[in-house]
Amino acid sequence: MATNADKKFPDGFLWGSSTSAYQVEGGIVNTDWNEAARQGILPDPGRADDHYHLFEKDFDIAVELGHNAHRFSIEWARIEPEEGVFDERAIEHYKLVFDALEKRHLTPAVTLWHFTVPLWFDKSGGFLRKDAATIFSRYCEYVLDKLGNRSKMWMTMNEPMIWTQNAYFNGNWPPFHNDLVDYLRVINVLAAAHKKVYQYVQAKKMPIQLGVAKNNMYFDSNRSPFNRMLVWFLDWFWNRRFLNKIKGHQDFIALNQYFYKRFGEPRPILPRSDMGWEVYPRSLYLCLMELKRYNLPVYVMENGIADAADTKRAAFIKEATMWAHKALEDGVPLKGYFYWSLLDNFEWDKGFDKRFGLVEVQYDTMKRIIRPSALVFKEICQGNALFI
């Protein structure tokens, strides 16, 4: 691929990568996921990447790779290990994380809840509790009161549709429900919980922006009448319904984008990642264009592929950022792009085999090795190249 010096992203554009606490920190022992691991149902993250202790080293790598921003999450189970009991030591740890980011001029983007919940919350009914929205909001309010001044950009939750599908419909993740009614109910609870937090932020006049990290898919078909109807329904239910529920209660949209789904023939033959997912970077552009209707700033908060051999990632990053720029040209108010992930990490029910990282982690020694594809991304982050 050639580079095009005229294809520039605007000044102030955020370039970075993302992580989540449970997937990289290690040493988290009192969540629903830990309980499932103890029972042998799910793999155990153990010390994961030991990012809890090595975060400064990891942020040094992010700077070396040309990033100017970083997205991470705060672990609810650390902050509120018992119901209504908050651990100030956990707050102090995350203050150190913010200090490290500030020292390195990395703009933080922070997720308050990324899939795992405290064990006490899970055992008392989780998001099926009648007061679940209030309990969740209380946790978020506590963190924002303590740390809200350390970042302008906050997300209450990550991928509510992905989590509810796996936890309450497919039954793959805690609490392992397989119930359509519970599934739909919890989606509504999460929307209500986010709105409560947003209303709190507005009432307190906090000078922050609040949103949700929303996974959207691009649905396509051969345009037969049935497939057109199916695609319309899936787009409405999966992509738009949650965002519509929180309309007026978000300051930006954080897009997580991985999936392209086509129904009917002909089907393009696409490469696949180590997760078995089709690799189709243009779907990022198509999903970004669909977000124009909301008239809100947009950040790509997750976009990446599992590729242990690092043979596909560089081409993916080149194409994805090219399509991100195309969306900018076509009127999407795109403000940043965060690759998933900075590090190889614990990939939920898949364990450690699926390697998304710009940086390889050797888990026996915790050694970090920068992959060649990370240097391609560095050129793009530094404005030296946009590959077309």
Question: What six digits make up the tokens of 156?
Answer: 């209450």
3-state secondary structure the chain: CCECCCCCCCCCCEEEEECCHHHHCCCCCCEHHHHHHHCCCCCCCCCCCCHHHHHHHHHHHHHHCCCCEEEEECCHHHHCCECCECCHHHHHHHHHHHHHHHHCCCEEEEECCCCCCEHHHHHCCHHHCCCHHHHHHHHHHHHHHHHHHHCCEEEEEECHHHHHHHHHHCCCCCCCCCCHHHHHHHHHHHHHHHHHHHHHHHHCCCCCEEEEEEECCEEEECCCHHHHHHHHHHHHHHHHHHHHHCCCCCCCEEEECCCEEEECCCCCCCCECCCCCECCCHHHHHHHHHHHHHCCCEEEEECCCCCCCCCCHHHHHHHHHHHHHHHHHCCCCEEEEEEECCECCCCHHHCCCCCCCCEEEECCCCEEEECHHHHHHHHHHCCCCCEC
272 half-sphere exposure, CB direction, 13 A CA radius: 7
Q: Is 159 a catalytic residue?
A: yes
Question: Which residues are registered as beta bridge partners of 180?
Answer: none
Rounded to whole angstroms, the Cα distance separating 263 from 232 reads 12
Q: Kindly report the CA angle at 347 between 29 and 81, in degrees rounded to 5?
A: 20
Length of the chain: 388
Choose the catalytic residue: 159, 278, 319, 347.
Answer: 159
Catalytic residues: 159
